[in-house]
Amino acid sequence: MMLKRSTNRGYWWFLLPGLILFVLVIAIPFLMNIGTSFTHWQGVGTPKWAGLDNYARLFRDSTFWASFRNNLAMLVAMTIVPTLLGLLLAAVLYDYITNKFGSRTASFFRAAFYLPQILPVAIAGIVWAWILHPNYGALNGLLETLGLENLTRNWLGNRQTALPSVMVIMVWFQLGYPLVIFMAGLQRIDPEIYEAAVLDGASWFDRFRYITVHLIRPEIFVVLLTTTIASLKVFGQIYVLTRGGPGSSTLVPSYFAYQNFFEKANIGYGSAISTVMTVIIIGLTIFFIRRQSAEEL
Amino acid sequence: MTSLPLKSSYKKPHKAGIGRFFVLAALLIVLLVVLLPFAIVIINAFKTPEDYATYGPLSWPTAWSIDGIVEFWQRVDYSQKLLNSLLISASVAVIGVLLSLLNAFALGIGRIKGRIWLLILFMVANTLPQESLVYPLYYLSKEFDLYNTRFVVILIFSVIQSAFGTYLLSSVFSTFPKEMLEAAMLDGCNKLQLLFKIIVPVSRPTLAVLFTFFFIWTWNEFFLPLILLISNDRQTVPIAVGVLQGQRNMEATLSSASALLGILPCFIFFLIFQRTLTKGIAAGSVK
């Protein structure tokens, strides 16, 4: 027996609180932000209509482009490297360590690699901020102990080393996430496929390439999508580690928007930056989801 | 996570060969690099400044001292920060789960008209960068005299988290056995009873996963709380630790103590919630 249509009607009431709050907290602010991106506004008084001025300025602004280039560096450090390393580690742990040392050993490694992920991004930043501190930081201390004084430097305060340092920190922070997702995905795979491959004489690397990577494609999609979006939103680590500096060598769009909103009181310009970020993120989401559903068909 | 062994693989462990120890050694080296920062934070948090100045960051503490931790605790009034973080995260977890539940009941069970569009709306909201909401939220909370209150942070995060929860729960609910719903309706259950007497008890494990995620995600939030909570007595743990880092010239041991106190609660949650989290991660419900 099907539920009658009339009994379905009363369900709207349950959506009401959620929908009202959604409109107040997300929809209205989101539209306001798009609105202010077409104005000049200091945050007080009436916003002045500016048309596409802010967007035109954005495309000429070398600082904005610098922040996007740094974003590509974040993409490498948060998406590409952790996904590749995570795949390799997951396959080694699942298909090698589990066989040779038992599943407890593999679970132990998985948990340990995941540990940085449990930290708030800001705390993760702080851990590293003092390890890399030029005067009393542990890294320079270690180098001095080893007699490598000439390698010590102001890691985060130097244009050449600031961005690479931040990238290393991001890899450290991010690695556990793909690893855990991939290992969960590997549990879905029928062990008989591996057995058959072994009987056919497939090497470990063949199995990795043709079975593991192929069969956990859905997980790889999820990881690529979520970490790409996360890399576009990086803020906390930059705030704690470098504040975008020195110069704009570690500036990211998120921090650039923050500066315009709360330090320079250029609300219109800040809104334009965050609107561009939103368009890119939603575009990427649609792209990934379409690709994924195309694969599944 | 160590307590959940992996499903055993396709072969019985065969332990012959020494090649396997090279792989293990390589993994241990990578592991050491990953865990080294934690170790450095822990040993230096318990050193005196003199000890640190004499022997540097890598020596074992000559005497385990909690002076740095106590000093940092008092300087930032850490008890208050913990209380704020707990209050905000727990409230968001409860309200966020409740909102997700009500939304998903209408969308997943009620299958109301236009639910596909509403689901897309919640999904898009879930990927929005907070930067695109922050200034209006800041402005509006000032207009309504809610700026710098824990209430507004709880409200905002409950809604943001429920966008994800609605999406996840709706798809879980849409597979709910029809017979069970129909039987309940025939027994004269009204919708409220259906939700809280039938659906909630059955989906308790999923709700537990959501609650855990909402709690931890909110605990870890940095951007919006940084902007919305400016007075010291209302800030959360990550904000207090993060802001202090930038402002004052701290001693190394104090810096280390602050990092340790920031890590510790998360580590405790990890131990408490690890089973729920592992299940949730396995279910693919990770942001």
Average pLDDT, chain A: 88
Q: Is residue B147 part of a domain?
A: yes
Q: Between chains, do A235 and B57 touch, taking CB under 8 Å as contact? A: no
For residue range A204-247, what is the model confidence (pLDDT) as tens digits?
888 888 888 888 888 898 899 889 989 999 998 899 888 887 88
Q: Between chains, do B256 and A120 touch, taking CB under 8 Å as contact? A: no
A137 vs B contacts (CB less than 8 Å): 57, 252
- pLDDT at position B158, please? 96
Q: Is residue B32 part of a domain?
A: no
| Among B159, B100, B117, B93, residue whose Cα is nearest residue A15 | B100
For residue range B43-90, what is the model confidence (pLDDT) as tens digits?
888 988 888 878 877 788 888 888 888 988 988 889 999 999 999 999
Query: What does the block give as tokens for B268?
Result: 């405790």
Q: What mean pLDDT do residues B251-270 have?
A: 86
If one counts every other C-beta atom within 10 angstroms of the C-beta of residue B7, the result is 12
Q: Is residue B55 part of a domain?
A: no
Angle, helices B252-282/A176-186, rounded to nearest 10 degrees: 20
- pLDDT at position B246, please? 59
- pLDDT at position B129, please? 92
Interface of B with A in 33-72 (CB under 8 A): 33-35, 37-38, 40-41, 44, 52, 56-58
Are the CB atoms for A55 and A269 separated by under 8 Å? no
pLDDT over 60 at A28, yes or no: yes
Q: Is B151 on the interface with A (CB under 8 A)?
A: no
Q: Is residue B164 part of a domain?
A: yes
Fill in the DSSP letter of residue A235.
-
Please tell me which of A41-50, A66-75, B31-40, B276-285 the model is most confident about, judged by mean pLDDT: A66-75
Dihedral over Cα of A139, A144, A147, A152: its sign: positive
Where is pLDDT greater, at B183 or B154?
B154
Q: Between chains, do A92 and B132 touch, taking CB under 8 Å as contact? A: no
Domain segments of chain A: what residues?
A: 47-296
Residue B121's CATH number:
1.10.3720.10
Residue A179 and residue A208: Cα distance in Å, rounded? 15
- pLDDT at position B282, please? 54
Where is pLDDT greater, at B278 or A222?
A222
Angle, helices A81-92/A159-174, rounded to nearest 10 degrees: 40
pLDDT over 90 at A43, yes or no: no
Average pLDDT, chain B: 84
A181 vs B contacts (CB less than 8 Å): 281, 284, 286
Q: Is residue B171 part of a domain?
A: yes
- pLDDT at position B108, please? 87
Q: Is B18 on the interface with A (CB under 8 A)?
A: no
For residue range B113-143, what is the model confidence (pLDDT) as tens digits?
888 899 888 888 888 999 999 999 999 999 9
**ipTM value of the model?**
0.86
pLDDT over 60 at B148, yes or no: yes
- pLDDT at position B126, please? 84
- pLDDT at position A296, please? 63
Confidence of residue B8 (pLDDT cuts 50, 70, 90): very low
Q: Between chains, do B242 and A236 touch, taking CB under 8 Å as contact? A: yes
Residue A214 and residue A166: Cα distance in Å, rounded? 32
Task: List, in sequence order, the alpha helices (H) in chain B.
Answer: 19-45, 49-55, 67-75, 78-104, 115-127, 131-143, 150-173, 178-186, 191-193, 200-202, 204-220, 223-228, 237-247, 252-282
Q: Is residue B247 part of a domain?
A: yes
| Among A252, A2, A276, A208, residue whose Cα is nearest residue B132 | A276
Confidence of residue B249 (pLDDT cuts 50, 70, 90): low
Query: What residues make up the domain containing B120?
Result: 80-251+264-282
Based on the structure, what is the number of domains in chain B?
1
Confidence of residue A73 (pLDDT cuts 50, 70, 90): very high
Residue A292 and residue A271: Cα distance in Å, rounded? 31
Q: Is residue B170 part of a domain?
A: yes
A47-296: CATH number: 1.10.3720.10
Cα distances (angstroms) measured from residue A190 to each of A194, A195, A197:
8, 9, 12
B255 vs A contacts (CB less than 8 Å): 126, 129-130, 133, 136
pLDDT over 50 at B286, yes or no: no
Residue A26 and residue B156: Cα distance in Å, rounded? 8
Q: Is residue B53 part of a domain?
A: no
Q: What mean pLDDT do residues B8-27 have?
A: 68
Kindly identify which residue of chain A lies nearest to residue B20, measuring between CA atoms: A100
- pLDDT at position B247, please? 57
What SS3 state is found at B286?
A: coil
